[in-house]
Structure formats: C-alpha cells, structure tokens
Amino acid sequence: MKFREMTAADLPAVFLVRIDAVENRVTLEGLASLGVTINSLTQRLATTHKGWLCELDGVPIGFAIGNGSTGELEVIAVLRAYEGKGVGRQLLTSAQNWLFEQGRETLWLTTGVKSNRAFGFYQKMGWAVVSSHPHGGHRMELRKPLITRS
C-alpha cells in the first residue's frame, strides 16, 4: 500500500471509493445535492483543503480530506474490502497532523449515532463527543497533544 497526498486528478476514483464506503452511505446524486462535486473539491483542494490517498497497485482504496480553515476532518472513507487493515488509521493520522500544523488546537468532525463503527473508530483514536445533534449525530473533537520535554 502506498499513502500520498491527493491531487485533483484522483477525484473521479475518490468518488467511487466514497460511494462504496459502508458507513454514512451516500450516492453521487446525494453528494451533488450537498454541493460536493469534482469541481467543488478541485477548488477546495486548491485553497483550503488537503487530502490523502491510499493506493494498492495504483488503485485508490481509501482517502481522507481535512479543511485547514476550520479544523474539520470532513471525510474519511475506505473500500469495504480493505477495512480493518490500518488504512483508515494512517489516513486519519495524516489528516490530523496536517490540521494541527495549520495552527489548530482543536479538530472536529461529525459522525452518526454511537452504534456505528465510525464512532468507535474515532473514539479509539482519541476523539471525544462534545455535543449531540437532534438528528442523532455527534460532534467529536480532538485536542492537540501537549508536547512534554524531559
């Protein structure tokens, strides 16, 4: 597996990974209705966002995108066949590191109900629930680790 920064040329394949993800199922039409298109993501990657990709034999199998202007981890998705193999963990770590490098002290994301696997994954990675939304989702946050000197 190879991990690297995402480029605009990767976006068509990234959308295929996104609609295959088990958690937070969505269609291309659903993404478009939210304003998430290849054109909008191309613009975001050129300005406020950064993404990371995991490839196997040149084929994308997972990705993550963070918003450097807000500190939000906007999306992480891994093809079903590659879940549980450390892909999500590596992608999340890359996104978190970059977001902290942008000067953020606290990162945030929204996720579904506590019973979903994504919720448990984020908890294991140190994220904590800070609020619940009426529709059943949760806002989770991750504080920048303190650096201790010995």
The model's pLDDT over 18-32, given as tens digits with 9 standing for 90+, comes to: 877 666 666 667 666
Q: Tell me, yes or no, whether 129 lies in a domain.
A: yes
pLDDT at 115: 55
What's the total number of domains in the chain? 1
The set of residues, in sequence order, having a beta carbon less than 8 Å from that of 93 and lying 6+ positions away, is none
Q: Tell me, yes or no, whether 149 lies in a domain.
A: no
β-bridge mates for residue 56, sequence order: 59
Q: Tell me, yes or no, whether 148 lies in a domain.
A: no
Q: Tell me, yes or no, whether 150 lies in a domain.
A: no
pTM recorded for the entire structure: 0.85
β-bridge mates for residue 129, sequence order: 140
Q: Tell me, yes or no, whether 72 lies in a domain.
A: yes
Task: Give the alpha-carbon dihedral of 70, 101, 15, 124, to 10 degrees.
Answer: -90
What confidence category does residue 67 fall into, taking pLDDT thresholds of 50, 70 and 90?
A: very high
CATH number at residue 47: 3.40.630.30
Determine the structural domain holding residue 77 and report its residue range.
2-143
State mean pLDDT over 46-59.
Answer: 94
SS3 content of the chain, % helix, strand, coil (to 5): 35, 30, 35
State mean pLDDT over 105-113.
Answer: 86
Cα 53 from Cα 27, distance rounded (Å): 20
In eight-state DSSP terms, residue 5 is E
pLDDT at 32: 66
Query: Closest Cα to residue 14, out of 50, 48, 38?
Result: 38
